[in-house]
Chains A and B, each alone.
Chain A
Amino acid sequence: MKTFFSKIADTLRRAPRWIYIALALALALIFPMLESWGLMETLWLRVGTRALVYVLLAVGLNLVLGETGLLHLGYVAFWAIGAYTTAILSSPRTARLLYMVQEHGIGKALTTVTQRTMQIPEELIGFHIGFGWVLLIAVLIAMLFGFILGIPTLRLRGDYLAIVTLAFGEITRITFNNWEPVTNGPGGIPGIMPPNIFGWVVDKPGEFFYLLLIVVVIVVWLLNNLKNSRIGRAWNALREDEIAAHHAGVHSTRVKMLAVVLSAGIAGLAGAIFGYYQQFINPQYFPFMQSTIIVCMVVLGGMGSIPGAIVGAVALDTLPEVIRQTFTKWLPDAFGPDFLPGVQAAVQTDFDRYRMLIFGFVVVLMVVFRPEGLLPNKLWRRETHEVDPREQEQTRQHLFDLEEGHPDLEA
């Protein structure tokens, strides 16, 4: 038995990485088709599309939290900035703001609460900014705020970034909540128009899934190249030992800044597309809890590992829905309404309410049994678990190759 399992495990480990990547891509490409073939409910397509937004966010946060080792607790702020950029530039709000600017100047437009019933001229109705520009503006604004946040905090050592980002997350949400002239305050902005990409109007969940998939593939490809570059090595060096890295010639402030700004940009991008997908945005989308959940996705997936962040995001975002379906549908369908003997039928129909409880329990189990994450980075696994002697031998060989000046520096 033992040899059988370890043989399978060995084969799986030795299989080249491109096989896994190709498999994952093929799965993702087929996924929306399952719905159009009638094999899967539309619900799962919507769950999958939202999960892709979280994949972008988790991959972006992984850059700061996993690669560079900085605790970032206000990541939701950049997401919100992206989403609100879309909402303000591509909804009925856009025409209303433009009209205010034309009539009263920009200062008054940004500070005056307009009446809900205000009439705007016919020719302005439907005015909005195109998809590409919205994305670009969202990313730039998010990066700008990431930069501003980084200036005072990244020169310091310690957990200052955590404190400042925590506050920034709340400040952003409260600003969107109170800046009524532009954001319509707590009421939010409805009626966001679907993106039009060179004539392709994206307004169905399946189309959004493919749009997001393209973005995810590009972002992951870029990040993977970056991870294996000089900058990526510098990030990891900073995470492991800042003083040593500094003395090895890593300009720590600049390198950390790059990570924070890039990750802010990715969240801005995710937010902008998310705004289009939801067609409605209000401050309730972006509580502090969301920042925590994204941190959990990175940690549970495996810090510093891009596949880990992807798996963590998909798992944590879809789990509550899987639990809900399991207890309200699949189990009752398979075993009848009394699938839990001894539990009142009333409790079973109310399983909707208990799903978050089960979700919490599963997360605790994951932390207990796999502290290094679902698909861990090799270094982190070694810190939390016994190391397989064969793997140790491989590493030794690898280091030896490096010393000998082996041409293949990548591993």
Chain B
Amino acid sequence: MAHGRTRKVLALALTLLLTVSMFTITGCKSDGGTSTDGTSGKTETIKIGVHTSLTGGLADYGFAASEGLKIGATDFSGFEVDGVTYNIELVIKDDKGEPAEAPIVAQQLIDEGVVAVIGGLTSGATNAALPIYQAAGIPVLSGSATAPDLTEVGFDNFFRTCLRDDLQGAAIGAWAIELGGKKVVVADDRGDYAVALGNEVQGTLEAAGVQVLREECAEGDVDFSAQVNNIKAFGPDVIIFTGYHREAGLLFKQCIEAGVDAQFMGGDGIKSNEIGDEAGGAANVEGALCTFGGFAQEAMPGYAAFLEKYEAATGKDGGPYAENNYDALGAVVQAIVDAQSFEGADIIAALHDVEYQGVQGTLTFDANGDVSVPGGGGIELIPRFEYTGGQWTYIAD
């Protein structure tokens, strides 16, 4: 039974390996950042956690976020607290964009002894991780979680450097009313982002007495003739699609073919120049309008310089939300310097008062932790774009 013996040896080896790894598990309780003796002229390292999604459906967003943060770690290292110079060590962890994985990642970062966390990439994962960060008293700053309820459930440790869905929704609704919309179609793709945005747009319009027809164009579908029939019978003056550019292009094209004459609008999901091809020619989208759920890159004081660094580091064009994440790191470092402390509670208190000069402009946080500009700011922060000559162009005020 030579075969049997090999198997037994293998089994024994595996058992040994497992036993050894058990000991390693129990033997490596972390002791936090490396701080030896904090006296004069020393350089030390603090850990900042990055809770993001490097695998899964939104891996490209996670890549851009972590690259933006790596640039930030280089730029912001060397700040001083109590006369000691500190460098930043990023601890990057992946949650696959799955809420079930998010608490595990959160616990891992806490065990590593990070002083603050930049992340949750997606709103779902952030929602699942926040109770754990809250219990540990660790400040969390997200550069891309835009769901409104995150800052409304009552987590005092959460801040974000991106604008909320409802702000963009209100801005789209207000713009449609400005354009004289009396009958408006609001369509989404049944995804979490588009539905939330669509609900906000619908709420804004209905509050102003505008008649709204809600339609659903599910992501991945090609034929929207049923929806187009409803739209034609409704006779709208504005059609708003809150999902992504692929379905938007198809919907706009099929509306034009059916003879619907209306102003096309959308959220930042349709802000891709590919929409021209997807609508069967740029002429079909000419004059379409869209908003963007953040500060306009064109209006950001530091964007050109940041983009240069990003391209040099990655060899790629600017990625989504990279600058928001960079600013989140910058804001938390500034808060640490302001507070002269690494205690979570002190950093959280300092973040409420911080006025940070970032890539996106001068940023402050309101009482809920939402990003703002000095003196506050509402829907006028949302930038507007028009599709002309085959590309989206920024409409400067």
Contacts and interface: CB of A to CB of B under 8 A. Distances in A.
B153 interface: yes
Contacts of A333: 28
A193 to B, nearest CB: 11
Contacts of B161: none
Given A42-B110, A190-B149, A278 B128 contact: yes
B334 interface: no
A333 B97 CA distance: 28
Given A186-B195, A279-B131, A39 B26 contact: yes
Contacts of A149: none
A190 B26 CA distance: 33
Interface in B170-224: 190-193, 195-196, 199, 203
Interface string B99-129: 1100110011011000000000001100110
Given A187-B192, A280-B99, A280-B131, A40 B29 contact: yes
A113 B199 contact: yes
Of listed B9, B92, B99, B193, residue having the most chain A CB within 10 A: B99
B369 to A, nearest CB: 15
A2 B108 CA distance: 44
Given A190-B153, A278-B99, A352-B54, A180 B148 contact: no
B192 A178 contact: no
Interface in B289-333: none
B154 to A, nearest CB: 8
Given A279-B131, A353-B55, A40 B25 contact: yes
Contacts of B9: 5
A41 interface: yes
Contacts of B123: 187
Given A46-B104, A186-B195, A186-B196, A41 B99 contact: no
Nearest to B62: A353
Given A187-B149, A280-B127, A330-B28, A42 B107 contact: yes
Nearest to A334: B24
Given A330-B21, A330-B24, A356-B55, A188 B108 contact: no
Contacts of A330: 21, 24, 28
Contacts of B93: 352
A185 B192 contact: yes
B268 interface: no
Given A42-B111, A43-B108, A278 B153 contact: no
Interface stretch (A62-70, A226-234, A321-329): A321-329
Contact of B192 (A1, A50, A282, A352): A282
Nearest to B202: A113
Contacts of B5: 1-2, 5
Contact of B127 (A34, A190, A321, A329): A190
A187 B153 contact: no
Interface string A160-200: 00000000000000000110100001111011000000000
B166 interface: yes
Contacts of A329: 28
Interface string A35-78: 00011111110110010000000000000000000000000000
A17 interface: no
Contact of B29 (A39, A177, A186, A285): A39
A278 B99 CA distance: 9
Nearest to B98: A284
A5 B8 contact: yes
B99 A326 contact: no
B150 to A, nearest CB: 8
Contacts of B196: 185-187
A41 B136 CA distance: 14
Nearest to B97: A284
A222 interface: no
B147 interface: yes
A186 B99 contact: no
Contact of B111 (A41, A186, A326): A41
A365 B359 CA distance: 49
A282 B21 contact: no
A115 interface: yes
B349 interface: no
B127 A178 contact: no
B94 interface: yes
B36 interface: no
Nearest to A205: B107
Contacts of B111: 41-43
Contact of A284 (B99, B103, B195): B99
Contacts of B256: none
A205 B124 CA distance: 20
A9 interface: yes
A285 B192 CA distance: 13
A116 B166 contact: yes
Contacts of B27: 39
A226 B153 CA distance: 45
B39 interface: no
B12 interface: yes
A329 B93 CA distance: 12
A280 B192 contact: no
B94 A353 contact: yes
Nearest to A330: B24
A353 B27 CA distance: 25
B104 A50 contact: yes
A5 B104 contact: no
7 contacts: A9-B8, A40-B29, A41-B30, A50-B104, A116-B148, A188-B127, A280-B128
Interface of A: 1-2, 5-6, 9, 34, 38-44, 46-47, 50, 92, 113, 115-116, 177-178, 180, 185-188, 190-191, 205, 278-280, 282, 284-285, 321-322, 325-326, 329-330, 333, 349-350, 352-353, 355-356, 369
Given A43-B107, A280-B131, A356-B55, 16 more contacts: A2-B5, A41-B30, A42-B110, A46-B107, A50-B104, A186-B191, A187-B149, A188-B99, A279-B128, A284-B124, A284-B192, A321-B104, A333-B28, A352-B93, A353-B94, A369-B10
Closest 3 A-B residue pairs measured CB to CB? Answer: A186-B192, A41-B111, A352-B94
